[in-house]
Amino acid sequence: MSYDPNNVFAKILRRELPCVKLYEDDLTLAFLDIMPSIEGHTLVITKEAAEGILDLSPEGAAALIKTAQKVTKAVKKGLDCPGIMLVQLNGAAAGQSIPHIHFHILPRAGGIDLKLHGRGMVDAKTLEPIAAKIRAAL
């Protein structure tokens, strides 16, 4: 996989595709996944054009992890979940399906299973009440 400037996340960054935004700064963007594995499934992306962690500048990596930590705290607090799973995949062989570096933030609670990612789309109206809880915790 090589960086494709027309990938879904690049289009979101250019405002060609919508997202349910949670947080944005000069270097990163966080939004709810429209094909969630679990309620509150959040994505944090860099604005830098980088496929994976090895392609990202040290400054971009620092900004990405800083935002991931900030948003993870808000997901945990806003959704009142006891655990968080943080996932970052590099390359198709690792399961990365969009060639733009990103973190998945997955709220976890005992006994609640994850659905397979990318199997069903959720509309923005369904995601907005979840987003409001997370935004309130930022």
CB 39 within 8 A of CB 59: no
Rounded distance between C-alpha atoms, residue 16 and residue 63, angstroms:
23
Burial 119-133 (b: 16+ CB within 10 A, else e): eeebeeeebeebbee
Rounded distance between C-alpha atoms, residue 14 and residue 45, angstroms:
13
Q: How many residues does the chain have?
A: 138
Candidate list 41, 102, 104, 117, residue with the active-site label: 102
CB 81 within 8 A of CB 38: no
Rounded distance between C-alpha atoms, residue 19 and residue 45, angstroms:
12
Question: Is 41 known to be catalytic?
Answer: no
What residues are annotated to the active site? 102
